[in-house]
């Protein structure tokens, strides 16, 4: 399916399943002669790996293998392909789940959509795929030299932090738990959850400093809209709130409008974004992270044939994975901000190179092929429907109307109408 691109604009795609040979990332929009950030990638991947007794015991080394696009430590401008081998998976843990749907997982929805599902560790829906996101983002961190990320986990399960400050990464505090009582109450609470074979999620506040004015575009490329889409693509993220979040729905306009002064906004209730475009204040947002659905408690479900059954999930799973989701959140923020900065550079008059233009053309050509692919999928469904209803497969009047409409539309755009119609004719032939 053509939905595995982390970034269409930057040309980043990922592939691979939880218990497959490898997770991989392919990056097509690469600037040449950029030092490959090996040390940064290792550091970022280590942040995403399991931490302590509350994470899964599946300890993948996450060693990556550069297949193409890097020579003598520098990017060549050619597509970069990187593999991260899966070595620590236990497929046997999932044998008893082969024919049943796990509550809270993607099993039921994906099986009913595709009529096939890789039950081994969740396949493509597993959080294992996020390793590709974290790796890819480090290739674009240099786009954001002034940007700093701060975090404050304000809630884990039923436990609330009294923190009023953010922090950067500390190995001794991977949960970013800044409560005045320290981490002891948190770990005691997580011990209780673990003893009950259950799991918990959390809410993380994020502050991003060093954001310039002007990032984001109206109307459908707003910065907050694109950030929301990027973060909601993470399997465990179920909510994104900007600025004062839910309180904005309870306050008056006079209480949330940020006064503008010669030196900038005097408050930041709206989270650093107005009209979808950054206003120069820090970006502030909160992210809601759901609990891991793999728990060792008996749960009601059904089999693939619809028979009621009860399951108890075994295997190696996180009690609380908030600390592991935060690096993935940061990765998606880096990629989204890099996209916005690149676009703003073009608006500000940065002169694109021949490589930039060719990259844009390559992406357009790829979109054309994908559009034909999608067209063929729909045509196949139309064929089946016509066959079931005994409708003649060929509709010459409709095709003639398509060619006429294409010709008129192309000419209105200043293009050669006859040639545009011929392209559509060829697309129709491919899809027959």
CA Rg value for the chain: 25
pLDDT digits (tens, 9 = 90+) for 248-280: 999 999 999 999 999 889 999 999 999 999 999
pTM: 0.80
Closest CA to 85 of 18, 138, 147: 18
Stretch 389-403: mean pLDDT: 90
pLDDT of residue 65: 96
How many CB atoms are closer than 10 A to CB 286?
20
Q: Count CA atoms closer than 13 A to 96's CA, side-chain side.
A: 8
Could you give the 3-state DSSP secondary structure of residue 302? strand
Alpha-carbon distance values, 141 to 145, 206, 367 (Å): 7, 17, 27
pLDDT of residue 189: 97
Q: Are 200 and 139 in contact (CB under 8 A)?
A: no
* Every domain of the chain and the residues it spans: 5-348, 354-431
Identify the residue whose tokens are 């619809």. 306
pLDDT of residue 366: 81
Q: Are 61 and 89 in contact (CB under 8 A)?
A: no
Cis peptide leading into residue 204 (ω within 30°):
no
Could you please report the per-residue DSSP string of 104-168? TSSHHHHHHHHS----GGGGGGSGGGHHHHHHHHHTTGGG-TT-EEEEEEEEETTEE------B-
Query: Domain 354-431 adopts which CATH fold?
Result: Chorismate Mutase Domain, subunit A (1.20.59)
pLDDT of residue 96: 76
Q: Are 92 and 315 in contact (CB under 8 A)?
A: no
pLDDT digits (tens, 9 = 90+) for 84-125: 998 876 666 677 788 899 999 999 998 999 898 887 777 788
Q: Are 318 and 199 in contact (CB under 8 A)?
A: yes
CATH number belonging to the domain at 5-348, selected among 3.40.50.920, 3.60.150.10, 3.30.2130.10, 3.40.50.180: 3.60.150.10
Identify the residue whose tokens are 């991260």. 84
User: Is residue 350 predicted with pLDDT exceeding 70?
Assistant: no
User: Is residue 75 predicted with pLDDT exceeding 60?
Assistant: yes
* Residue 278 burial (C-beta neighbours within 10 Å; 0-12, 13-18, 19+): buried
Band (198; pLDDT cuts 50, 70, 90): very high
Could you give the 3-state DSSP secondary structure of residue 199? coil
The separation between CA 335 and the C-alpha centre of its own chain, rounded to angstroms, equals 9
Residues 6+ apart with CB under 8 A from 88: 58, 59, 60, 61
């Amino acid at each position: 399916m053509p939905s595995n691109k982390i970034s269409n604009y930057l040309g980043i795609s990922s592939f691979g399943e939880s218990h497959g040979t490898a997770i991989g990332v392919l990056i097509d929009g690469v600037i040449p002669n950029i030092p490959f950030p090996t040390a940064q990638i290792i550091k970022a991947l280590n942040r995403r790996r399991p931490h302590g007794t509350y994470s899964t015991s599946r300890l993948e080394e996450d060693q990556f293998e550069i297949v193409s696009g890097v020579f003598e430590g520098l990017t060549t401008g050619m597509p970069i392909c990187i593999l991260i081998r899966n070595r620590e998976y236990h497929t046997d843990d999932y044998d008893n789940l082969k024919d049943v749907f796990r509550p809270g997982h993607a099993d039921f929805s994906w099986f009913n959509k595709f009529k096939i599902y890789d039950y081994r560790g969740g396949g493509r829906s597993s959080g294992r795929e996020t390793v590709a996101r974290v790796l890819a983002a480090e290739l674009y961190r240099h786009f954001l030299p002034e940007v700093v990320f701060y975090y404050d986990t304000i809630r884990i399960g039923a436990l609330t932090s009294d923190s009023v400050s953010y922090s950067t990464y500390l190995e001794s505090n991977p949960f970013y738990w800044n409560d005045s009582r320290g981490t002891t109450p948190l770990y005691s609470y997580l011990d209780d959850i673990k003893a009950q074979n259950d799991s918990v999620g959390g809410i993380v506040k994020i502050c991003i400093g060093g954001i310039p004015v002007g990032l984001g575009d109206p109307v459908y490329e707003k910065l907050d809209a694109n950030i929301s889409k990027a973060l909601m693509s993470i399997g465990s993220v179920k909510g994104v709130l900007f600025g004062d979040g839910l309180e904005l729905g309870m306050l008056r306009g006079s209480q949330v409008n940020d006064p503008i002064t010669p030196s900038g906004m005097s408050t930041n209730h709206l989270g650093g974004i107005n009209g979808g475009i950054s206003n120069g204040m820090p970006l502030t947002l909160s992210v809601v992270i759901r609990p891991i659905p793999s728990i060792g408690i008996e749960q009601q479900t059904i089999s693939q044939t619809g028979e009621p059954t009860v399951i108890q999930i075994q295997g190696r799973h996180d009690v609380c994975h908030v600390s592991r989701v935060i690096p993935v959140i940061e990765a998606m923020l880096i990629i989204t901000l890099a996209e916005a900065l690149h676009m703003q550079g073009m608006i500000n008059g940065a002169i694109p190179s021949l490589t930039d233009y060719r990259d844009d053309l390559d992406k357009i050509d790829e979109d054309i092929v994908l559009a034909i692919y999608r067209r063929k999928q729909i045509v196949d469904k139309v064929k089946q429907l016509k066959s079931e209803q005994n409708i003649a497969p060929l509709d010459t009047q409709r095709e003639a109307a398509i060619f006429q409409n294409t010709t008129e539309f192309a000419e209105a755009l200043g293009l050669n109408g006859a040639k545009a119609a011929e392209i559509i004719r060829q697309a129709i032939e491919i899809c027959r």
